[in-house]
Amino acid sequence: MIANYDFGPKAPDIKLLQNVANVGAIASAPFIAAAGPQFLSGEDLPHLNKIFEGSQYRKWQSFRDSEDARYVGLTIPRFLLRLPYNPESKPVKAFNYEEKVRASHDYLWGNTAYAFATRLTDSFAKYRWCTIDNGAVEDLPLHQYETKTGEIKTQIPTEVLISEQREYELAEQGFIPLTMRNKDSAVFYSANSVQKPKFFGTSQEGKESEINYKLGTQLPYMFIINRLTHYIAKMLQREKIESEKERADLEIRLNQWIGQYVSDARSHKQPLKAAKILVEEVEPSLYRIHIKVRPNLKQKDFTFSLEYQF
C-alpha cells in the first residue's frame, strides 16, 4: 500500500500508524508512506540519535517495538517533483508564466513514497517479485538559478542532503532515506521497516537470532514472504485446495508448488534458497500453515529463515 501521507511523532499520528500496521499485518501488505518535515529538520541530523531519545519520541519508540511495525515503512526526505515554471526551461503551454522561487519551501516537493514505489514496480515488472535489486531513482530535476551576486547555484532534487553516515543512522532509526548519488539521481540504499531490531544476548545462538530478527524487519524480505502468503491464499480459495481433507496431501501439494521458486543459484525470479511448508490441522478441515523460507539474496555470510503463520 503506497500512501500519499506524511506522519509526525505525535500521538494521533502514531495511533493511526498502529491501526494501519494492524491492517497491513492482516492483509499481508506493507504500508509505505513518508516521515514528514515535522519529524525532524535538517538541523537535527548531526544529533540524530540523541534527538530520538527525547520524550517527544516515546510513542514512536513504543510503536517501533510492536510486532506489526514491520508492516510500515516511512520514506524521507521529500524530493523535487518538477522544475519551477519558466518560459525557457519549464514553459506553461496555455500562457506565459514564470514561477518565483525565493526559498526551499517555494519548490514543489513530493512524497518520497512514490519514488520508492517506482523501485518496487520496476523490480516486479522484471522479476515478478519486489526484491528491489536497484534502488536508484534516475533523471531527477535539477534547478539552476542565478543569485543576486551573479553566482550560479543548483537546487538538488532532495529537500535535505543526506550523507552516507546519516543514511545509515536514519535507517537504524526506522526510516527509508533517499540519498543523493550523482547530480540528477538519488538512491535508496536500504529499505527497513520502522520495526526496531531486538537484542537476544551475546551467545552464538543469541547473535544468530538477532541477525534473523533484524533481517525480518527489512522490507525486501517482507515483500517475499507476503507475496508467498498471497499465492497460498489464492490457491486455497480459488483452486479450492481446502477441499482436500488429508493434511499430508495438502502439505505435499503446497511444498511441490513452492519448489518452483527455490534455486541454489542466485536468481531474482527464484528468490528462495530453501523453503518448507508445514500444515497443522487445528480442527477438522481447518488448517494452520507455517511457511519457512531462506531468501536467496546477498546478505554477507549470514543465512536466515522467515516464518509466517495463518
Residue 38: predicted pLDDT: 85
Q: What is the pLDDT of residues 256-291, one digit of tens each?
A: 999 999 988 878 888 898 899 998 888 877 778 888
Q: Which long-range contacts (CB under 8 A, 24 or more apart) does 296-303 make?
A: 296/262, 296/263, 296/264, 296/265, 296/266, 296/267, 296/270, 296/271, 296/272, 297/131, 297/220, 297/221, 297/266, 297/271, 298/266, 299/215, 302/211, 302/215, 303/273
Residue 182: predicted pLDDT: 75
Question: From CA 290, how far away is CA 306, in angstroms rounded?
Answer: 10
Residue 112: predicted pLDDT: 97
CB atoms within 10 A of CB 257: 16
Residue 301: predicted pLDDT: 43
Which residue would you say has higher pLDDT here, 138 or 266? 138
| Residue the block writes with cell 500453515 | 289
Mean pLDDT lowest for which of 21-25, 65-69, 176-180, 283-287? 283-287
Distances 69 to 31, 52, 102, 214 between C-alpha atoms, Å: 10, 17, 39, 13
Domain ranges for the chain: 2-187, 229-309
* Mean pLDDT along residues 45-58: 82
Provide, rounded to the nearest whole percent, the portion of the chain with pLDDT above 70. 90
* Mean pLDDT along residues 171-191: 92
* Mean pLDDT along residues 4-11: 95
* Mean pLDDT along residues 123-138: 87
Residue 167: predicted pLDDT: 93
pLDDT band at 300 (very low <50, low <70, confident <90, very high): very low
Question: Which is nearest to 262 in space by CA: 251, 275, 253?
Answer: 275
Question: From CA 112, how far away is CA 179, in angstroms rounded?
Answer: 11
Partners of 306 in the beta sheet?
Answer: 293
Which residue would you say has higher pLDDT here, 45 or 111? 111
Residue 95: predicted pLDDT: 87
Is 216 within 8 Å of 253 (Cβ atoms)? no
* Average pLDDT score over the chain: 86
Phi then psi for residue 274, to 5 deg, are: -155, 150
Mean pLDDT lowest for which of 107-111, 136-140, 207-211, 222-226? 207-211
Tell me the residue ranges of DSSP E strands in 134-188.
Answer: 136-137, 143-146, 152-155, 176-177, 179-182, 185-187
Residue 284: predicted pLDDT: 76
Q: Give the DSSP H/E element, type plus range, for residue 238.
A: helix 219-238
